[in-house]
C-alpha cells in the first residue's frame, strides 16, 4: 500500500519484496492515471472485484461473478447500502401496497449497526433470540415464533445472520445454515450474511461455512435465492480497520434492483482506493513460492493462534468468577458473559436511572479503568445481564484485566449483598 | 502518506524530506497503536481536526473550534450526514407538527449529489435559479420567489450554496454572500456552504469568501447562525479524490442536534485514516523554510495557473462556436455552456424519447468519443440546453477536444437544419 501511495518507491531496492512491487504495479495499472488519487468506478476497481470473486470461488468451491462484487468503505457501508433497499421512503403512504412498515429480522443479541440502521431507515426491528443455554444456537423454531409475531405489525423482508457471531462468538454448523436458508426460502426473505469474521474460527470442531456455499450445494430452489454476503479487512488476522476496506457479494438480486443499488452508491462517488487495495491484499495474499509468502503465513498463523488462545483464556477465566457464565468463544473477537447481579444492585441502578448492566459497567470503568459494553446495547433476554468484552488485547494484558475484573466483581457483590 | 502507511520508511535516508517525516510522526502519534490500521474517533483524529481548525482560522481571520470540525470520507459524506438531520423519518406522520415534508433550497443548475440525497431522504427539492445572463448570479429576489412558492407545499429548513459554483463556475462576491446570509437569517434557514472549490478561483477580481468569515464579520445576529461548511482534498490544486478526505465545519448547531449528528456518524465507525491524513496535508501544508516548501509551492502555483489558463481556454473557445454561449469560468473546474439546438434536433430527440441535451450528448459521444454531461442532469431553465464539461484535461488535449467538438457541432447543425 505504501508502494501504491508513493509509486517512486517502486524504484527502490532492498526495501520491498518483488511480489509486493508486482501487486502494486498491477493495481496501479487498474487506477485511472496510474494513481490512487483518482476516483474509481463506484463499485470499486475491476481488478480488485475480480480478485475478490476469485477469493470467494476458491473459498466456496462454487463460481463467483466479479460483477456481483461491490467494494465498500468497510463492511458497514455495504450493509447499510443494501439494507436501504429494503425500505420504501419514496412511495407516498397512500400508494403503498400495505400500510405496514418493512421489517428486518436480526439476532438478539446483535451488533448495534443493525438496530441503528433500521431506526435510521424507519424500518421495524424483528428480533430473534439466540439460545444462550446452547452456546447461542440459532433455532428455526425461534425464527418461526419471531416472524409469526412480527407479521401482525410489519412486512418482514429480510433476515440478518452474523456468523461467526458478534457479540456472541458462536459459529453456525452447516446443518444450522441449511435450516436458516430453508426458512428464508419459505418466507421469501432476503439474506444478509454478515461474514466479516470468516477467518476468526478457533474452537475445535467449528468451521466456517459461507451462506453462498451452502446455498450452492443445496441446489434448486435455494441456489437462486437473494443473498448478500459482507466481508471486511477490519477483522480476521489482519485487523486493518482504519483502512476502511470491505466488500459485499450480492447474488441473484433482481436486475432492476441491482441497477438501483449501483445508482444509489454512486452518490458517494467511490470507496477509498487505498481501502479497496487493502481488501485486495486480503483477497489475493502471497502464494507459495513468492518472496513474501513465508513471512505472511507466519504472521497470519501466529495471529490466529494467539487469538484462539485468548478466546479460550477469556472464557475460561470469566467462568471462574462466581455468578459469571460465559459460552465458548468459537469465533469472532468477543466474549459475552452473563452475570448475576444482586437485587440491591438492580435497585441502585433503577434509582440512578440506569439499566443494571450499564450501572455495573460504569462502576467497573470507574474502579478499574476496564471498559466493557453493557449487554443492553446489544439486546438480551429480559432480566438477564451481560456485557461484551473483546479478546483483542495481548495475552499478558488480558490476564491482568481478568484478575482486576474478578477483584472488582467480588467487591461489587459484597457492596450490594 | 506512504510514511504513515509503512512506518519503517521513517528510518530510510534520502527518499523522504525531513518535514514529511516529522508530519508523519506527529500524525502516527495521534493514531491508536501508532498505526493507520486502527479506528479513530468517529469525527476523526483530534490532531487533524485541530489542524483543520487552524487552517480555517488562518483563512478567515476568525476563530474556529476544532470540536466543530468533523472529518469525513470526501465532502459528499459530510454533506449527506448533515442533510439527513433536516428530515424527520423517525416521527410517525400523526405526531408531526406539520404534514408538510421538509424542503431544502438548492441552486439550479446544481451538483446532482443534492437532488439525489434529497430524493433518498424523502425531502422536497426547492430550486432557485441562478441568473445565466449575469454570469450565474445568485439573486435574493429569486430566493424570495422560490421560498414563497415552496412554502405552500413544504417546510423549508435549509439552503445550499455552492461557491465557487458547480457546474456553473461562478464565484460569489462578498456582497452577494451577505445578502444570502440576511435572507437565511430572516427565513431561519440552516446554511450548507459547499466550499470545496475554495482554492479554485481564477478570474481577475474574483476572490473566495467563506460564509463563516462573512457571517463573523457581519456580527450579531448573523454570527450566531447555523452554518455547515464543506471542504475536500478532491479538488483544489491537489485533486486527490481517490483518497476520500474531507471535512465539515458545523457552527452554532444546537448542542442536542450536534450530539445526534455525532451519534449518527458513529454507525460508520470512522472515515478512512489515510483520507483523514490527506485532508491534514491540505490543511497543514509545508511552511516557508521547511525542506518541502519550495517544491510544494511550485507545484501548487503551477497547477492553479494551468487551471486558470484552461478555464479561459475552454470558455473562450466554446464562445467561438456558433450557437454556443459560455459564461466566464471564474472558479471551480467546469464550464456549463448554453447551446441552441435546431427545432428538428429537438423533434428527433423527442421521437427518440430523450431530452434534447441528452440526445446531443450521446451523438457527440458516439461521433467523437467526447463525454459531456447533459444540462438536464443539473437542472436548467425550461427550453434551454446546456452541458457540463470539465477544464481538467491537460492543455493540448483540451485544445484538441474543443476543435473536435466544434467540428461535430457544425455537422450536427447541418444535419438538423
CA atoms within 13 A on the CB side of B219: 0
Q: Chain A within 8 Å of B409 (Cβ-Cβ)?
A: no
- Is pLDDT at B255 greater than 60 in this prediction? yes
Asked if B242 reaches chain A (Cβ–Cβ under 8 Å), the answer is: yes
Among A36, A39, A267, the residue to mutate for chain B (most B Cβ within 10 A): A267
Answer whether A259 touches B (CB < 8 Å): no
Closest A-chain CA to B77 = A268
First to last CA, chain A: 56
For residue A125 the three cell numbers come to 426491528
| Residue to substitute from A2, A232, A242, A281, interface B, most B β-carbons within 10 A | A242
- Is A267 within 8 Å of B120 when comparing Cβ atoms? yes
* Banded model confidence at residue B90, pLDDT cuts 50, 70, 90: low
Given an 8 Å threshold on Cβ–Cβ distance, is A116 in contact with B273?
no
Q: What is the DSSP letter of A261?
A: H
Q: Average the pLDDT over B138-143 and give the result.
A: 95
Grid cell, residue B230, equals 464543506
* Contact check, Cβ <8 Å, A2/B15: no
Q: In whole angstroms, what is the distance from residue B321 CA to residue B332 CA? A: 23
Which residues, including other chains, have CB under 8 Å from residue B114's CB and lie 6 or more apart? B79, B83, B104, B106, B125, B160
Report the sign of the C-alpha dihedral through residues A19, A20, A22, A27, in that order: positive
- Per cent of chain B over pLDDT 90 is 91
Query: What is the model's pLDDT at position A92?
Result: 57
Q: How close, in Å, is residue B128 to chain A by CA atoms? A: 22
**Following DSSP, what letter does each residue of B10-68 receive, concatenated?**
GG-SSSS-HHHHHHHHHHHHTSGGG-TTS---TT--HHHHHHHHHHHHHHHTS---GGG
Contact A269 B76 (CB under 8 A): yes
Q: How many helices (H) and strands (E) does chain B have?
A: 14, 12
Q: Is A137 on the interface with B (CB under 8 A)?
A: no
Nearest CB neighbour to A272, from listed B116, B243, B269: B243
**Fold (CATH) for B294-416:** 3.90.1150
Given this model, what pLDDT does residue A84 score? 92
Residue B275's nearest CA partner among A39, A119, A164 is: A39
Count interface pairs A-B at CB distance under 8 A.
140
Quick check: A113 and A79 in contact, CB under 8 A? yes
- What pLDDT is attached to residue B253? 95
User: Which residue is associated with the grid cell 426458512?
Assistant: A183
Nearest to B37 among A36, A239, A272 (CB): A239
Query: Do residues B117 and B140 touch, judged by C-beta distance below 8 A?
Result: no
β-strand B154-162 against B101-108: which pairing, if any?
A: parallel
Contact criterion met (CB below 8 Å) for A76 and A111: no
Is the separation of the CB atoms in B71 and B48 below 8 Å?
Answer: yes
CA atoms of B205 and B328, how far apart (whole Å): 12
Partner-chain contact B37 A113, CB within 8 Å: no
> What CA–CA distance (Å, rounded) separates A366 from A219?
55
Q: Do B76 and A31 touch (CB under 8 A)?
A: no
Phi, psi of B272 (to 5 degrees): -50, 130
Q: How confident is the model at residue B125 (pLDDT cuts 50, 70, 90)?
A: very high
**Residue B75 near chain A (CB below 8 Å):** no
| Pair A316, A362: CB distance under 8 Å | no
Residue A248 DSSP SS3: strand
Q: Do A241 and B37 touch (CB under 8 A)?
A: yes
Residues 6 or more apart in contact with residue B379 via CB below 8 angstroms: B108, B109, B110, B115, B127
- Report which DSSP code applies to A298: H
Q: How far apart are CA A66 and CA A113, in angstroms?
A: 27
Residue B340's pLDDT band, with cuts at 50, 70 and 90, is very high
Q: Cis peptide before B52, with omega less than 30 degrees from 0?
A: no
Q: Do B274 and A272 touch (CB under 8 A)?
A: yes
Tell me if chain B has a CB within 8 Å of the CB of A397.
Answer: no
Question: What is the CA A169 to chain-centroid distance, rounded?
Answer: 11
Question: Rounded to an integer, what distance in angstroms lies between the CA atom of residue B335 and that of residue B391?
Answer: 7
First to last CA, chain B: 56
Residues of A in contact with B36 (CB under 8 A): 242-243
Instruction: Report which of B74, B95, B376 is spatially closest to residue A37, judged by C-alpha positions.
Output: B74
User: Distance of alpha carbon B204 from its chain centroid, rounded?
Assistant: 21
pLDDT number for residue A183:
98
Is residue A197 exposed (0-12), middle (13-18) or buried (19+ Cβ within 10 Å)?
buried
Cβ-proximal residues to A304 (8 Å cutoff; 6+ apart), any chain = A199, A200, A202, A237
Q: B76 vs A268: CB contact, 8 Å cut-off?
A: yes
User: pLDDT band for position B222 (50/70/90)?
Assistant: very high
Q: Which chain A residues touch B8 with a CB distance below 8 Å?
A: 15
Q: Which CATH number fits domain A301-415: 3.90.25.10, 3.90.1150.10, 3.90.45.10, 3.90.245.10?
A: 3.90.1150.10
Has residue B58 got a pLDDT over 60? yes
Q: Encode A114-128: b = buried (16+ Cβ within 10 Å), e = exposed.
A: bbbbbebbbbbbbbb
Residues of A with CB below 8 A from B94's CB?
Answer: none
Contacts of B241 in chain A (CB under 8 A): 37-39, 269
Model-level pTM greater than 0.90?
A: yes
Nearest chain B residue to A239, by CA: B37
Q: Cα–Cα distance between A188 and A250 in angstroms, integer? A: 16
* pLDDT tens digit sequence for A276-313: 999 999 999 999 999 999 999 999 999 999 999 999 99
Name the grid cell of A171.
Answer: 459459529
Task: Please determine, for residue B95, whether its predicted confidence score (pLDDT) is greater than 70.
Answer: no
Chain B CB within 8 Å of residue A35 CB: yes
Give mean pLDDT, residues B118-142: 93
Across the interface, whether the CB atoms of B239 and A37 are under 8 A apart is answered yes
pLDDT tens string for chain A (417 positions)?
Answer: 999 999 999 999 999 999 999 999 999 999 999 999 999 999 999 999 999 999 999 999 999 999 999 999 999 999 999 999 998 755 555 666 677 889 999 999 998 899 989 988 889 999 999 999 999 999 999 999 999 999 999 999 999 999 999 999 999 999 999 999 999 999 999 999 999 999 999 999 999 999 999 999 999 999 999 999 999 999 999 999 999 999 999 999 999 999 999 988 888 889 999 999 999 999 999 999 999 999 999 999 999 999 999 999 999 999 999 999 999 999 999 999 999 999 999 999 999 999 999 999 999 999 999 999 999 989 999 999 999 999 999 889 999 999 999 999 999 999 998
- Cβ distance A268 to B121 less than 8 Å, yes or no, reads no
Instruction: Show me where the domains of chain A are located.
Output: 39-283, 301-415
Contacts of B255 (CB under 8 A, 6+ apart): none
CA A377 – CA A166 distance, rounded (Å): 12
For residue B113, with 0-12 CB atoms within 10 Å meaning exposed, 13-18 middle and 19 or more buried, which class applies? buried
* Residue B267 pLDDT exceeds 90: no
A13 touches chain B (CB under 8 A): no
Measured distance CA(A86)–CA(A83) in Å, rounded: 6
Name which of A2, A31, A275 is nearest B272 (Cβ-Cβ).
A275
Minimum CA–CA partner of A90 in chain B: B122
A39-283 matches A301-415 in fold: no
Give the pLDDT of residue A94.
Answer: 61
Residue B376 and residue B358 in contact, taking contact as beta carbons nearer than 8 Å:
yes
Residue in B95, B101, B112, B242 to test binding to A, most A beta-carbons within 10 Å = B242
What pLDDT shows up at residue B122? 86
Distance CA B39, CA A275 (A): 13
Burial of residue A110 (CB within 10 Å: 0-12, 13-18, 19+) is: buried
Check residue A320 and give left, alpha or beta (phi > 0: left; psi -120 to 50: alpha).
alpha
Section B331-355 average pLDDT: 95
Between CA A272 and CA B275 the distance in angstroms is: 8
Q: Which of B272, B292, B295, B377 to mutate to test the interface with A (most CBs of A within 10 A)?
A: B272
Assigned C-alpha cell, A13: 531496492
Task: Supply the DSSP symbol for A250.
Answer: E
Instruction: Confirm if B125 and B115 have CB atoms less than 8 A apart.
Output: yes
Put simply, whether A86 touches B (Cβ < 8 Å) is no
Q: Topology of domain B39-283, per CATH?
A: 3.40.640
pLDDT in tens, B368-382: 999 999 999 899 999
8 Å CB contact of B39 and A116? no
Q: Name residues 310-369 of chain B within 8 A of A (Cβ).
A: none
Cβ within 8 Å, pair A40-B242: yes
Q: Given this model, what pLDDT does residue A93 score? A: 58
Examine residue B137 and say whether the peptide bond preceding it is cis (omega within 30 degrees of 0).
no
In chain A, positions 42-61, which contact chain B (CB-CB < 8 Å)? none
Amino acid at each position: 500500500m505504501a508502494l501504491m501511495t508513493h509509486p517512486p518507491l517502486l524504484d527502490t531496492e532492498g526495501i520491498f519484496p518483488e511480489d509486493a512491487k508486482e501487486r502494486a504495479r498491477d493495481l496501479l495499472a487498474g487506477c485511472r492515471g496510474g494513481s490512487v488519487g483518482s476516483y474509481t468506478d463506484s463499485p470499486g476497481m475491476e481488478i480488485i472485484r475480480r480478485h475478490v470473486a476469485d477469493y470467494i470461488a476458491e473459498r466456496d468451491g462454487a463460481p463467483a461473478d466479479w460483477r456481483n462484487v461491490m467494494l465498500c468503505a468497510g463492511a458497514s457501508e455495504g450493509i447499510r447500502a443494501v439494507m436501504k433497499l429494503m425500505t420504501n421512503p419514496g412511495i407516498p403512504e397512500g400508494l403503498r401496497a400495505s400500510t405496514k412498515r418493512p421489517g428486518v429480522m436480526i439476532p438478539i443479541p446483535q451488533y448495534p449497526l443493525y438496530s441503528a440502521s433500521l431506526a435510521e431507515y424507519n424500518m421495524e426491528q424483528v428480533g430473534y433470540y439466540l439460545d444462550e443455554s446452547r452456546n447461542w444456537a440459532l433455532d428455526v423454531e425461534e425464527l418461526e415464533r419471531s416472524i409469526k409475531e412480527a407479521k401482525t405489525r410489519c412486512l418482514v423482508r429480510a433476515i440478518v445472520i452474523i456468523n461467526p457471531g458478534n457479540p456472541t462468538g458462536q459459529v453456525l454448523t452447516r446443518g444450522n445454515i441449511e435450516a436458516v436458508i430453508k426458512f428464508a426460502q419459505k418466507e421469501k426473505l432476503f439474506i444478509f450474511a454478515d461474514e466479516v469474521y470468516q477467518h476468526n474460527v478457533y474452537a475445535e470442531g467449528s468451521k466456517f461455512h459461507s451462506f453462498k456455499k451452502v446455498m450452492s450445494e443445496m441446489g434448486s430452489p435455494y441456489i437462486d435465492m437473494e443473498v448478500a454476503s459482507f466481508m471486511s479487512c477490519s477483522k480476521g488476522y489482519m485487523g486493518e480497520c482504519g483502512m476502511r476496506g470491505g466488500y459485499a457479494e450480492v447474488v441473484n438480486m433482481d436486475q432492476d434492483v441491482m441497477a438501483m443499488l449501483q445508482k444509489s452508491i454512486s452518490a458517494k462517488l467511490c470507496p477509498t482506493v487505498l481501502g479497496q487495495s487493502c481488501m485486495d491484499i486480503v483477497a489475493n495474499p502471497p502464494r507459495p513460492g513468492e518472496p513474501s509468502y513465508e513471512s505472511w503465513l507466519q504472521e497470519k498463523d501466529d495471529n490466529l493462534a494467539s487469538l484462539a488462545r485468548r478466546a479460550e483464556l477469556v472464557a475460561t477465566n470469566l467462568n471462574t468468577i462466581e455468578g459469571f457464565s460465559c459460552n465458548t468463544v468459537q469465533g469472532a473477537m468477543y466474549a459475552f458473559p452473563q452475570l448475576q447481579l444482586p437485587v440491591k444492585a438492580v435497585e441502585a441502578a433503577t434509582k440512578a436511572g440506569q439499566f443494571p448492566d450499564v450501572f455495573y459497567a460504569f462502576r467497573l470503568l470507574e474502579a478499574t479503568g476496564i471498559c466493557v459494553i453493557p449487554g443492553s446495547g446489544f439486546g438480551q433476554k429480559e432480566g438477564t445481564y451481560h456485557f461484551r468484552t473483546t479478546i483483542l488485547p495481548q495475552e499478558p494484558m488480558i490476564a491482568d484485566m481478568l484478575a482486576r475484573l474478578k477483584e472488582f466483581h467480588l467487591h461489587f457483590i459484597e457492596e450490594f449483598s
